Amino acid sequence: MALRSFFVGGNWKMNGNKGILGELILSLNTSSLQDDTEVVCAAPSIYLDFVRSCLDPRIGVAAQNCFKVSKGAFTGEISPAMIKDCGADWVILGHSERRHVFGESDELIGQKVAHALESDLGVIACVGEKLEEREAGTTEEVVYAQTQVIAENVKDWGKVVLAYEPVWAIGTGKTATPEQAQEVHEKLRVWLRANVSDDVADSVRIIYGGSVTGANCRELASQADVDGFLTEAGLQA
């Protein structure tokens, strides 16, 4: 079985300004990080260049979204080429807020995943169910369908991190129990084994996002199939 390195992503969302981000960057640059843990910060696109130029090189930088082509008449969008030109190496795609606030379809997310990977960006691909879907018992159906579209657009799984984010636990203070998180992570790995390959199932990092805190992170991290976190940074502009 492949040894999976731990991955911690910080999603700054639409928060911060240069002053606040500068303070956060200073804190990160002077912090003690585990050598075997990969840390990536997802900054607002307008600050990607600023963050990458100030943040210690041992910490990766991600965009929070991108479009499915390299350039064109798509006002307000950014491309993987632009992200790379700012020195960032990752992008978050399929986040629940992109799906449910901005109406992005599974198909569009899949197209974005394909183009980002073709552009040599690492992809943090998000899947997760809403509260009503969990209560209806359709969690597996929902996350499998979302993962299927992602998988159809991936050729090199070495550049993909799969993030399970139950929508009902994002920014609500509710958290999936370690057992609930492990259950879905384990089922996703079983799905990858059946639908992609044993090697991918063993090697792909599946990280958890959803009200991760200092109080619950150790127990979550101790679960066999939880390979890290995608957390929301508490930034106030």
Which residue in the list 38, 129, 133, 165 is annotated as catalytic? 165
* SS3 assignment, position 68: coil
Q: Is residue 152 annotated as part of the catalytic site, yes or no?
A: no
- Interhelix angle 139-151/106-118, nearest 10 degrees: 40
- With beta carbons less than 8 A apart as the criterion, state whether 196 and 157 touch: yes
* Other beta carbons within 10 Å of 219: 13
Q: How far is CA 40 from each of CA 26, 52, 190, 209, 233, rounded to the nearest angstrom? A: 15, 11, 26, 14, 12
* Other beta carbons within 10 Å of 118: 13
Radius of gyration of the chain (CA): 17
Which residue in the list 38, 95, 129, 185 is annotated as catalytic? 95
> Quick one: which of 140, 111, 143, 138 has its CA closest to 126?
143
Q: Is residue 165 annotated as part of the catalytic site, yes or no?
A: yes
- With beta carbons less than 8 A apart as the criterion, state whether 96 and 128 touch: yes
- Residue environment code for 177-198, b if the CB has 16+ CB neighbours within 10 A, otherwise e: ebebbbbbbebbbebbeeebee
Q: Catalytic residue positions?
A: 95, 165
